[in-house]
Structure 1
């Protein structure tokens, strides 16, 4: 089995060679040599110049893999187009301006959706794919809602920290699809209400106990039913247990957690 077969998932990319060095693998490749102008949609094969694009890919046996793709800059053949030169697109391989392949970005997004930024960073580093939690969160914001074509019926609302203890935003999650719909740069009832007014299809809102979100949900989606999510129900139960034990003079020991059904 040759190297072209082993690296076949890089669709449209010609594999030129594979080398081992510096604690990882370096894959040399070349782009398709043609593309469509993003401004006017005119196809072109007229090469203006080339540049080397370095992409981090999925690891091999725990070793880091870097794909170096010789990418072409193409001339737009439409005389009336304002964009004279554009870079050939690497469709299915990497998004524009990202330094990771789509395979790696999809995995990082999946972990970021399910466990959050810092846990995703720790898991990815252990798997041989060092990516910071800030990068994971930036990708979540960049791709949030791109794959959500259907209306959001069950919505989850919670806050998240741009800078812990200082700056907070609001995260909107489609709980039926388990996907992030939007990330708001603020945490306010007015901002939540404005977002909900643009999505009248929301029927159920699962939120934390923050009064701002309750007020925003009432103002922006009066037709929706508000419920508390499981995490905050357990948190509320723990606080009640601590209050009862405190009255009895028997504080809850450190590290104890109420039993969950």
Structure 2
């Protein structure tokens, strides 16, 4: 018979309700394990479906849960859960007050794992430290995210950002919705179609959607269609980060075309200069600036493309929509005069989406927050060395970027 002092000690440590008692505590020095056996002492049981008090039908087979270690000893709880005999729902196994349903870990242990994961984004490192499988840690993260998502309120969100992120090779993407003011990921869905984006927006409560003022998106039509369908009152805002990317890609396309043409005559001027054309002047070192100035004296088509790209940066610091509209027309004429097809192609796309670009001056929102979150997501992806399933990818994005209350 276990001493009263030991069982009472563990009874207090576990914080058990009055219907559960510590029956026995066994210490195994060889297995480095403490096993705590619990027994149900209640006269009735609560149906998990309706919450009614019922008679006890019988007890389920023994189950085990891992608890927080006692000193350096792994601690295991063993118990048989009662089964309630409900008149309406039949025989139902009662939940364990110390663990989530279908979990083989106590709530305290899961809370400890969540804290470790929040301080170490490497799941494998946490798995190794605690002697758990990757799948066990993944399940704990899923339950934590589910808890956090359930606790989210329906506070007003005025400015949304919707962006894509690569998932796997072969042009497989996920679509991410961010709260730009709160700096958090709201949810993630597979693919970047209109249907997927509608699903993403529908994850917000109807009254939240009605209060959205703007949605910052790339010039990708499925995003625009979904926004018009689910938040028609919100302004579409096409932000500077995506436009800068398109312009940089156009400059690089001009460079590649011109480099091939020069190579046929033995001119190597543009070889190895790719990143020089992608840098902004203020980010160049003294040597880089000197080398770049030398390139610009060569009167290259790439230099003209770079000048047009750099000229457009002034667009974003203008103070009024009217001034921006006038500047855009002036810049567009300069692009047309250059006759550089890659730049003209980007300009034509911007003309088609001009209203969304000019909406920047109404809300002054950008996807800068989304870009920052994307960088964090990229680190998570690199640390995990990729993901086999979308659900695991989504779980980690929300776990680390959702600002969720996942406490036990």
Q: TM-score range by the shorter chain?
A: 0.5 to 0.7
Q: Please, which of 112, 121, 125 is the counterpart of residue 122 of structure 1?
A: 125
- Cα distance in 1 for residues equivalent to 2:131 and 2:96: 21
Does residue 58 in structure 1 map to residue 68 in structure 2?
Answer: yes
- 1:84 corresponds in structure 2 to 90
Measured against aligned partners, the alpha-carbon deviations of 1:4-54 in whole angstroms (never above 9, x if no partner) come to 22222x445422222233233222113464432233432113232332121
- Cα distance in 1 for residues equivalent to 2:276 and 2:32: 57
Q: Please, which of 130, 146, 149 is the counterpart of residue 150 of structure 2?
A: 146
- Distance of aligned partners of 1:193 and 1:246 in 2 relative to their CA distance in 1, 3 Å threshold: closer
- Cα distance in 2 for residues equivalent to 1:113 and 1:152: 27
Over the aligned positions, Cα root-mean-square deviation in angstroms equals 4.6
Name structure 2 gaps, 5 residues minimum.
253-273, 280-287, 293-408
Deviation at residue 86 of structure 1 after TM alignment: 0.6
- 1:43 corresponds in structure 2 to 53
- 1:24 corresponds in structure 2 to 33
Deviation at residue 125 of structure 1 after TM alignment: 3.7
SS, match of residue 146 in structure 1: helix
TM-score, with structure 2 as normaliser: 0.44
Name structure 1 gaps, 5 residues minimum.
251-261
- Cα distance in 1 for residues equivalent to 2:223 and 2:116: 29
Q: Which moved more, 1:195-204 or 1:218-227?
A: 218-227
- Cα distance in 2 for residues equivalent to 1:62 and 1:224: 58
- Distance of aligned partners of 1:213 and 1:49 in 2 relative to their CA distance in 1, 3 Å threshold: same
- Cα distance in 1 for residues equivalent to 2:181 and 2:17: 32
Does residue 14 in structure 1 map to residue 21 in structure 2?
Answer: yes
- Distance of aligned partners of 1:135 and 1:38 in 2 relative to their CA distance in 1, 3 Å threshold: closer
- Distance of aligned partners of 1:227 and 1:99 in 2 relative to their CA distance in 1, 3 Å threshold: farther
- 2:307 corresponds in structure 1 to none
SS, match of residue 149 in structure 2: coil
More strand by share: 1
TM-score, with structure 1 as normaliser: 0.63
- Distance of aligned partners of 1:55 and 1:141 in 2 relative to their CA distance in 1, 3 Å threshold: same
SS, match of residue 81 in structure 2: strand
Once the two structures are superposed, the pairs formed by residues 55-204 of structure 1 within 5 Å of their partners are 55-76=65-86, 78=87, 81=88, 83-91=89-97, 93-109=98-114, 119-123=122-126, 125-126=128-129, 128=130, 130-132=132-134, 133-140=137-144, 142-143=146-147, 145-151=149-155, 153=157, 164-165=168-169, 169-170=174-175, 181-197=186-202, 199=204, 200=209, 201-202=211-212
* Contact preservation (8 Å) 2:48, 2:95: no
Q: Figure out how many residues of one structure are paired with residues of the other and give that number.
A: 233
* Contact preservation (8 Å) 1:109, 1:139: no
- Distance of aligned partners of 1:108 and 1:177 in 2 relative to their CA distance in 1, 3 Å threshold: farther
More helix by share: 2
- 1:257 corresponds in structure 2 to none
- Distance of aligned partners of 1:18 and 1:179 in 2 relative to their CA distance in 1, 3 Å threshold: farther
- 1:258 corresponds in structure 2 to none
